Amino acid sequence: MKNLHFLVFLALTLTLPELSYSKPKRIRKQEKTNPLIDTEISFKLKKPATEEALSGFTLYPVAVKGGIKLINMSGKVVKSWPYYAHRARLLPNCNLLVLHATSLSEKKENKAKEYLKIREYNWEGKVVWEYSPPTDPHHDLQRLENGNTLILRKKIRTYSVKEDNIPRKLRSDIVEEITPDLKVVWSWDADKHLNFLKCGARKCNQSPAHEKWKETNRDWSHTNTVFKLKDNKWFRNKDLRFQPGNIMVMLRNLWTTYILDKDTGKVVWQYSGTKDNPIIAPHESQMIPDGYPGAGNILIYDNGGKVRKYTRILEVNPVTKEIVWEYKDKDNFFSGAAGSMRRLPNGNTFISEDNGFSVFEVNKKGEIVWQVDSSHPLNRGQRYEIDYCSQLKNNLVN
């Protein structure tokens, strides 16, 4: 069972030196903010691609100092970048956009601030763009068609409650759009537009007035996804909630995904499931693009967290809020945190099971048509078609 993988992995690291976590080697001075990785990662082709699978490459950002790997359909590493990434996205020009947050070992070494950067690398690994936000960036980023970049960063604020006048501390989030010359041209503060004394669709684990928040930051929002809407059938049918340019965010701790009117910052759409069937500790909401099966519907990675011990991928009609498709396997698919998914052009769905150390592709029937497992967990893998960018097509395809 997949939920046993982590324990198995720990056992293996104690017996197999090639899978142990080792400190990064500082080979070159300029690599200080992006330590080289020397951890060996292994991949196993668990399910060879069937005729239904879509050929392509999978970006596998290893979650424990193993670098960023690009694997083919056989599970072979065809390209590697020696950097830790909390999130990585391959761009249409084959550059790599990386959120260099922190690994657990870096936090233990009290070096977290050295790695809180967003960088764009060219194919050869040269830094071509860099941004250091004023507070910690985290979880997600998206390069826009105009060259700007959407990011998430943390915000710490204080608040008062009626019980007393002693300030409590709260962690919220800011969504920002950054230009190539590092100017902020748009921002959205979650705590200014949502009621931070509420906990969204779930019950608060502890009251916002609890004594502990006088000393400890209350992790209120925990936003983990930012996604810009493109042209879609709902907008063409005059539903302005889905206007291209509006921003979709997922607030994990509120168990809710929202669409924001970019001009006003107001919430114009939201989805939390239903009272009897909520989304739980979710990640990665996105609208399926035009030209793809299910175009206009919303995909949601419904983790389950500590409440439900299996994960679901939901496809939701945003107008009716009806679940029109879902994938689940109660015995074999569970990522309590993290994870990503993407609808593919052939109608299949790519799924990154981060805590299960696995990436796989399922068809509409929910049948696995390709799967690669790894020795290490990952941070939200991504699938790219062979012709996505020139380096994939020209350099990596035989």
| Residue with token string 């921002």 | 187
Under the banding of pLDDT at 50, 70 and 90, the label for residue 65 is confident
**159, β-bridge pairs:** 168
pLDDT over 70 at 327, yes or no: yes
Tens-digit pLDDT profile for residues 179-222: 999 999 999 999 999 999 898 998 888 888 888 888 888 999 99
Q: What share of the chain has pLDDT > 70, as a percent? A: 86
Tens-digit pLDDT profile for residues 124-177: 999 999 999 999 999 999 999 999 999 999 999 999 888 788 899 999 999 999
Q: In what order do the strands lie in the sheet with 87-90?
A: 87-90, 96-100, 117-121, 127-131
| Per-residue confidence (pLDDT) for residue 362, from 0 to 100 | 98
**175, β-bridge pairs:** 152, 188
Rounded CA separation 119/106 (Å): 18
Q: What is the DSSP letter of 396?
A: I
**Its pTM surpasses 0.85:** yes
Contact 297, 324 (CB under 8 A): yes
**128, β-bridge pairs:** none
Rounded CA separation 256/28 (Å): 44
Cα 330 from chain centroid (whole Å): 22
Can you say whether the dihedral through the CA atoms of 261, 264, 265, 271 is positive or negative? negative
Q: Residue 207: which residues within 8 A CB-CB, separation 6 or more?
A: none
To 5 degrees, how large is the angle CA 121–CA 126–CA 129? 50
CB count within 10 Å of CB 111 equals 15
Under the banding of pLDDT at 50, 70 and 90, the label for residue 8 is very low
DSSP reduced 3-state for 10: helix
Contact 332, 353 (CB under 8 A): no
Per the structure block, which two tokens stand in for 263?
Answer: 């001009």
| Residue with token string 């979880």 | 139
Per the structure block, which two tokens stand in for 83?
Answer: 């950097």
| Per-residue confidence (pLDDT) for residue 84, from 0 to 100 | 86
pLDDT over 50 at 87, yes or no: yes
Per the structure block, which two tokens stand in for 65?
Answer: 């100092």
Q: What share of the chain has pLDDT > 90, as a percent? A: 74
Mean pLDDT of 51-75: 93
| Per-residue confidence (pLDDT) for residue 22, from 0 to 100 | 30
| Per-residue confidence (pLDDT) for residue 239, from 0 to 100 | 98
Q: Residue 183: which residues within 8 A CB-CB, separation 6 or more?
A: none
Q: Does domain 2-396 have CATH number 3.40.50.300?
A: no
Tens-digit pLDDT profile for residues 329-388: 999 999 999 999 999 999 999 999 999 999 999 999 999 999 999 999 999 999 999 999
Nearest in space to 84 (alpha carbons), one of 383, 389, 377:
377
